[in-house]
């Protein structure tokens, strides 16, 4: 299963692929313990993204950004994750 991004949905998560979405009963923190962090990165308390699916980074303010994925979905980057996400994608906060 090639996952593009994952979002929290209460006690479930939605696993989004290029062709469909799958609901799975687990929490984000439980899922984070089992995910391959070379394949997915946490970008918000409620969202994981596959870095290779990011098409564009939009700066929305100082320390704020959103990611545009290859399928056009826009995902917000949480302030807590901003620096790590920018570094992982090859940007610095000074860019």
CA atoms in the 13 A half-sphere facing the CB of 11: 1
Q: Report pLDDT for 63.
A: 77
- Tell me, yes or no, whether 18 lies in a domain: yes
**69 beta partners:** 54
- Tell me, yes or no, whether 95 lies in a domain: no
Specify the pTM: 0.89
Q: Report pLDDT for 94.
A: 53
The mean of the pLDDT values for the chain is 92
H helices of 1-95, in order, are 28-34, 82-88
Looking up tokens 């620096």 gives 83
Q: Per-residue pLDDT averaged across 62-86, rounded? A: 94
E strand or H helix at 94, and its extent?
Answer: none
CATH of the domain at 70: 2.40.50.1020
- Tell me, yes or no, whether 94 lies in a domain: no
Q: Report pLDDT for 93.
A: 58
What is the span of the domain harbouring residue 12?
Answer: 5-88
| pLDDT above 70: residue 38 | yes
| pLDDT above 80: residue 95 | no
């Amino acid at each position: 299963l090639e996952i593009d991004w994952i979002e929290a949905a209460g006690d479930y998560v939605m696993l989004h692929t290029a062709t469909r979405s799958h609901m799975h009963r687990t929490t984000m923190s439980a899922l984070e313990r089992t995910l391959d962090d070379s394949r997915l990165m946490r970008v918000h308390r409620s969202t994981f993204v596959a870095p290779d699916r990011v098409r564009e980074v939009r700066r929305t303010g100082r320390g704020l950004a959103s990611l545009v994925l290859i399928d056009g979905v826009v995902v917000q980057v949480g302030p807590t994750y901003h620096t790590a996400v920018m570094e992982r994608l090859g940007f610095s906060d000074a860019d």
